[in-house]
Chains A and B, each alone.
Chain A
Amino acid sequence: MAGIINENSSIEAVGPHIITFLVEDRPGVFAKVTGLIRRRNFNIEKITVGPTHIEKVTRMTFLIKADEATLEQVVKQLNKMVEVLRITELKPKDCVIRELALIKISTSDQQERNEAMQFSNIFRGNILDVSPTSLTVEITGDSEKIDAFLELTKRFGIIEVARTGITALSRGSDPRPRGVDMMKLLDYE
């Protein structure tokens, strides 16, 4: 996602905010979304994209560091895209958030391997691959949990990390989150 992160942005990064939106599954939509974000110099931390249960509808979830005014512009500009069907900001307390990480840890001996496996158990991780000198662990949870695991295991030596970005859904049965619903906000009531 080079080009999206603008290090010199004068906007004080606040947040992070989670925005999630449903888009039409058509060629070029993702390019258009990211193009819009690049053009207006918005900062994106994490992106997750995947299909939904509705045919030809894709969900995108962004984690954005931005002040309120910038966030409002991102949401409004995205909402203007014909391909964007609905957009909402999710407040962390009103939604469930998950991120998945694959972490390849260097383990030089039996003791290190055991220790790493113990940590993995505590974090409810899955061991996906073992070699004489490494261990690949899958950790799922919120971003802080993954950060904590990385912190804990970094003394073994981390060879590689692959993180998915976050995905989130509102709590309860209502598909519209109980957080701020941007569509309502746009009516200025």
Chain B
Amino acid sequence: MVMNGSKALAESLLREGVKDLFGITGGAIMNLMHQLFEFEEIRVITARHEQCAAHMAEGYAVASGEVGVCFATSGPGATNLVTGIADAFLDSRPIVAITGQVPTSLVGNDAFQEADIIGATMPMTKANFQFHRVKDIPLLTKMAFKIAKTGRPGPVLLDFPKNIQIGEEHVEFPTDIEISGYNPTLKGHPRQIKRISKVLKQAERPIMIAGGGTISAMANNEVLELAEMLGLPVINTLMGKGIIPETHPLSLGMAGMHGHMCANSVINQADLIFAVGMRWSDRITGKLEYFAQEATIVHVDIDSAEIGKNVGVHYPIVGDAKIVLRQIIEELKKLDVTQPMSWMQKVKQLKERCQCNIPLTDIQPIKPQQVMRLLREHIDSKTILTTGVGRNQMWAAHYLRVYGPRKFVTSGGLGTMGFGFPAAIGAKVAKPDHWVVDVDGDGSFLMTQQELATSVIEDIPVTVIILNDQALGMVRQWQNLFFEERYAVTDLGPKGFEKRVPDFAKLAEAFGANGILVERVSEIGPAIKEAKESDVTTVIDVQIDRSENIYPHMPSGAKLEEIIPCPPWMEAG
């Protein structure tokens, strides 16, 4: 078929099953948009900032398990995407970013709105391609989607020069492709499976740490089956939240700097750590020399480069989490497996001691934990949570329970403030029948608040709960704990705090969204209920106690035991 480049790309997107695109048009991508105008199957959602378009694609990707697609024009449009691309790279989210580019004759000439986006995104994409011929478009697009979603998922960028968008050529659409330099290992090595099964069987105090890789692979059934088979306590990383229902007796919650005490304590007592799809980030391990000294470490990951990168591993295995766990389960079925009863008992006791009681008394100002407790009651299996970055994120991760994978969307690796709201919009587009709640901070939300326009105009209603401490709270907490209480440049409110800057409820209303100001504990529940039932985006501005820190807190570079535990007011209640 002879067609122009724009149509070839649009047709390729359709063949990949793309239904939604997020982005902002511009001079160097308008030809593609012009073509997409006649593709009724593809909805183009106009964001108000390209960074948000990328985060929307990420939210969409996590919620749906499909590739999220975002686009931008050349130059500033493309560079604005970079933060979102970097975020997707560190959290292994499958997105394809399409950028317009100046005509090939002008590339390298510093033309108007030219940016070397291929050069810029090299270290933060799994792969990137610039189209040089119309006839290459179908193949390269198919490669982009395959690379983005297979193996360890990640972002891929396609740079689309304007003359290639317009140029016409005969094109063919491949159905199946092989990429010679790209062949992810999916199945675990049989002999290593045997060895690992044996160590798992012999362990006296085993635990499992499930990371984001278990969710990418949708290994939730396998994780649960293996945990129940071996009596394995399951600890999750931030990215692994929801891999098994958090109400399950074997779920111990999150590990790491702001993780659950019982989770961190169990890690240090274990004789076997069975780590699946996680990358031993410094926020999990604390100081490496003191991390799980005694334990034998088994590490399953699809990316061989993660194995041995940070922590020495005794039994590594490369493969897809779902497939490898299934292999191990089958192998264990052949062995006579018994559960380590005394260890399980001990873990159970630790978990019981770890339960914090959050009183709902009328404390002024409101404690953020109280908001979390009340929100928790509204969360069900059809709720998707997203978060900003900072204390709001850690409170959400710590106190909220989700009931399955792909229900908790957060910026873990890059820690991108402003992620929560656009990610919520993307998730809602992917799952319109779900209630999507963004637990955000005032600092985070303000970075991407302009997407209120997108959510109202495109009719994508989500709930935003701002834990408003009028500060860059996480940094403030560090200043409080480790910087002699010198609060340098972390206040976001005006001097004396007489006025609200901004008044988030009014801000929401200015966009045609619903805004609710909450200042008393008794107002939290009704506000959440109203937001859940509303068919327009609702922003709940909760004025919280700015001096309330997120605990537990393990100081950076400390041992896991050096954790600062829960605040006393909670235990007292």
Contact = CB atoms under 8 A, between A and B. Distances in A.
Interface stretch (B15-23, B300-308, B534-542): B300-308
B303 A80 contact: yes
B147 A82 contact: yes
Interface string B126-142: 11000000000000000
A188 B189 contact: yes
Contacts, number: 52
Nearest to B185: A187
Contacts of A72: 308
B568 interface: no
Interface in A116-170: none
A76 interface: yes
A180 interface: no
Contacts of B123: 35-36, 39
B164 to A, nearest CB: 15
A85 B458 CA distance: 44
B118 interface: yes
B122 A189 contact: no
Interface string A59-96: 00000000001001100110111111100000000000
A87 B180 CA distance: 13
A175 interface: no
B281 interface: no
Nearest to A182: B304
B183 to A, nearest CB: 10
The dominant DSSP class at the B interface is: mixed
B318 interface: yes
The dominant DSSP class at the A interface is: helix
A187 B318 contact: yes
A152 B303 CA distance: 49
Interface in A6-63: 23-24, 28, 31-32, 35-36, 39
B119 interface: yes
A189 B122 CA distance: 32
Interface in B109-129: 118-119, 122-123, 126-127
Given A188-B316, A188-B318, A76 B192 contact: no
Interface string B304-327: 110111000000111000000000
Given A73-B309, A76-B304, A82-B179, A187 B189 contact: yes
B57 to A, nearest CB: 20
A112 B182 CA distance: 57
A35 B116 CA distance: 15
Contacts of A76: 304-305
A187 B319 CA distance: 9
A5 interface: no
5 contacts: A23-B181, A73-B309, A82-B182, A188-B192, A188-B317
Interface of A: 23-24, 28, 31-32, 35-36, 39, 69, 72-73, 76-77, 79-85, 186-189
Interface of B: 118-119, 122-123, 126-127, 147, 179-182, 185, 189, 191-192, 303-305, 307-309, 316-318
Given A28-B122, A83-B181, 14 more contacts: A23-B181, A24-B180, A24-B181, A28-B118, A32-B122, A35-B122, A39-B123, A72-B308, A82-B181, A82-B182, A187-B318, A188-B192, A188-B318, A189-B189
